[in-house]
Structure 1
Amino acid sequence: MANKRGLGRGIDALFSDEEDKKEAQVVEKVAPKKDDRNSVSTISLSSLKVNPYQPRKTFDEASLSELAESLKQSGVIQPLIVRAHGKNYQIVAGERRFRAAKLAKLTEVPVIVKDLSDSAMMELAIIENLQREDLNPIEEAQGINSYMKELALTQAQVAEKLGKSRAGVANTLRLLNLPTEVQQLMIDGKLSMGHARALLGLDSQPDMLLLAHRIVKEGLSVRQVEELVRKSANPEKKSSNQGSKSTNIYAEEVEHQLEDKFSTKVSLSKKKIEINFANEDELDRILTLLGVNLD
């Protein structure tokens, strides 16, 4: 998602930000519709509490500083979405603006108060964040995991709600099987998704951690890590799986990315890619994604 940068963003930065638009769209889907749902109030920053179901744990400091500078000049134009919680209010959507307002030393912000249950608030917060592109993979995995547990959903149900493939959701959740220290390396941007999926081919977490540190130290590519993982497998495992696509981590990575793109099952074998479709409508959708026009 390409966001405009620079202190010259002014009112446009506060009112037309793509992040704000996505928040509003998700709120309208989850929040109950009432006649006063767009009524704007002004409340003290000190009465606002962060969303306990917020999957995002890290916020870009440079982006927050830029927004804070704009807020000093123009104030907060786009209201935050909140819900009443005791004597205070919990932020449903708009935590980035809340943090920037604190940096700008503002004392109050405009809000729209919504009547939301705990489950609706969680669903809104998680979906709104997971539909963005700037969550790191571990935050995404943790958000999906919380979503499933708190609302008792299956992977298939979560995939449908998020517009992702079932395989894509399953493989994102697998990241939580990595050691905590390896997860932190991903959060810090030192390991890629490809590195992580390769590491998951190892049998033990200590081995994953050792290889992860080697990746960072030596700057190993995903292909190099895949080869090291294959060599570390025991002879029995290698012989039983020899020639099998399941041992080819590179092939699995390609399959996962194609399944995410087409939202259907994709199989990759030697010199052949198979894309499954259930009916003519689904075929038309896939052809459109491929840029094929039969008219």
Structure 2
Amino acid sequence: MSKKTEFQALDLISAYSEKKKSPSHLELNQIFPNPTQPRLIGREDTSDLLPSMERLGLIEPILVRKDKGKYLIVAGERRYRAALKLGWKEIPAIVTEANEDVCYEMSLAENEKRKNLNPWEVGKAIQYLRKEKKKSADEVSILLGYSERYVKQLSSIARLDQKSVMELMISGKPLSVKNLEDLLKRKENRGGEIISPRVTSSQNKVSINLGKLNGKLRDSFLKELNSLKKKYGINE
């Protein structure tokens, strides 16, 4: 496993100057969950928050950003949902001026630091950053404090659909990287090969001489090769 044992990314939320300001009190009907937030499983489960919030109130304000006259949650969606269940009309919130992309990175880094995300959710977030936001594996590894190899490993796991991940969780198996990789192999009808990229040079690259193939066969081969690369998430 090439995940770093110490979380090395910046605590992005506390690094922002808005964190030092006194929070505002925003009406709950002005606040909305962010549809692109990294947490996908268990975001509506607030059973662990309700007793303490009912007794002590909200100790840590949620973080939001303003968007077209409303506020989207950057961090604290479960606290927001718990406040709704408690019948609160307003909630302490810090309004950040950071843009949408930075807010997504802030939310991902903070959720991962608190260990709120399972490897599949982190993989989906990495996939979103790489495909939609055009981030390199190196940029994502710096953000999360992971090795580049581990980032690619999680990206592979993200090929699983949510239904399959939920079925694995319901079966009682932990959503560990190993269990998710084993599930992916079964889903893709693969044997015991390693999904995660190896660093060894002998397995990194394969050279193929197409000189003996005529034009039609060569085109057919390259078409099938591109299909395989797409299936297995190979971008090089």
- After TM superposition, the score normalised by the length of structure 1 is 0.55
Deviations 1:154-204 (A, max 9, x none): 1122112211111111111111334554333345465553233235456x7
Aligned-pair distance for 1:52? 2.7
Which one has a larger percent helix, Structure 1 or Structure 2?
Answer: 1
Deviations 1:42-95 (A, max 9, x none): 111111111233110222776x22321222222213211111222221111111
Residues 181 and 60 of structure 1, relative CA distance in 2, 3 Å threshold? closer
3-state DSSP of counterpart to 1:177: coil
Q: 2:115 aligns with which of 107, 128, 133?
A: 133
Residues 66 and 180 of structure 1, relative CA distance in 2, 3 Å threshold? closer
Task: Give the distance between the partners of 1:184 and 1:96, measured in 2 at CA.
Answer: 20
Indicate yes or no: 2:37 matched with 1:54: yes
Q: Would you say the 8 A contact 1:81–1:93 is kept in 2?
A: yes
Task: Give the distance between the partners of 1:82 and 1:184, measured in 2 at CA.
Answer: 29
Indicate yes or no: 2:171 matched with 1:198: no
The unaligned stretches of length 5 or more in structure 2 are 1-9, 202-236
3-state DSSP of counterpart to 1:135: coil
Aligned-pair distance for 1:145? 0.9
Residues 99 and 167 of structure 1, relative CA distance in 2, 3 Å threshold? same
Task: Give the distance between the partners of 2:140 and 2:166, measured in 1 at CA.
Answer: 25
Q: Would you say the 8 A contact 1:138–1:186 is kept in 2?
A: no
User: 2:134: which partner in 1?
Assistant: 152
Q: Would you say the 8 A contact 1:37–1:114 is kept in 2?
A: no
User: 1:106: which partner in 2?
Assistant: 88
Task: Give the distance between the partners of 1:183 and 1:77, measured in 2 at CA.
Answer: 33
User: 1:177: which partner in 2?
Assistant: 159
Indicate yes or no: 2:47 matched with 1:65: yes
Task: Give the distance between the partners of 1:91 and 1:181, measured in 2 at CA.
Answer: 25
Deviations 1:240-260 (A, max 9, x none): xxxxxxx4x5xx88x98xxxx
Task: Give the distance between the partners of 1:156 and 1:181, measured in 2 at CA.
Answer: 30
Residues 179 and 68 of structure 1, relative CA distance in 2, 3 Å threshold? closer
The unaligned stretches of length 5 or more in structure 1 are 1-23, 209-228, 231-246, 257-264, 268-295
User: 1:27: which partner in 2?
Assistant: 13
CA RMSD across the alignment: 3.2
Residues 69 and 170 of structure 1, relative CA distance in 2, 3 Å threshold? same
- After TM superposition, the score normalised by the length of structure 2 is 0.67
Residues 57 and 187 of structure 1, relative CA distance in 2, 3 Å threshold? farther
Q: Would you say the 8 A contact 1:53–1:126 is kept in 2?
A: no
3-state DSSP of counterpart to 1:39: coil
Q: Would you say the 8 A contact 2:160–2:184 is kept in 1?
A: yes
User: 1:278: which partner in 2?
Assistant: none
Compare relative contact order (CA 8 Å, sep 6+) and give the higher one, 1 or 2. 2
Residues 44 and 179 of structure 1, relative CA distance in 2, 3 Å threshold? closer
Q: How many pairs were matched up?
A: 190
User: 1:42: which partner in 2?
Assistant: 25
Aligned-pair distance for 1:151? 2.7
Written as runs of structure 1 = structure 2, the 5 A alignment for 1:1-295 is 25-29=11-15, 31=16, 33=17, 38-59=21-42, 64-178=46-160, 181-188=163-170, 190-191=172-173, 192-201=176-185, 205=188, 207=189, 229-230=191-192, 247=193, 249=194
Task: Give the distance between the partners of 1:101 and 1:122, measured in 2 at CA.
Answer: 23
Task: Give the distance between the partners of 1:187 and 1:137, measured in 2 at CA.
Answer: 12
Q: Would you say the 8 A contact 1:175–1:197 is kept in 2?
A: yes
3-state DSSP of counterpart to 2:158: helix
* Percent of residue pairs bearing the same amino acid type: 28
Residues 113 and 201 of structure 1, relative CA distance in 2, 3 Å threshold? closer
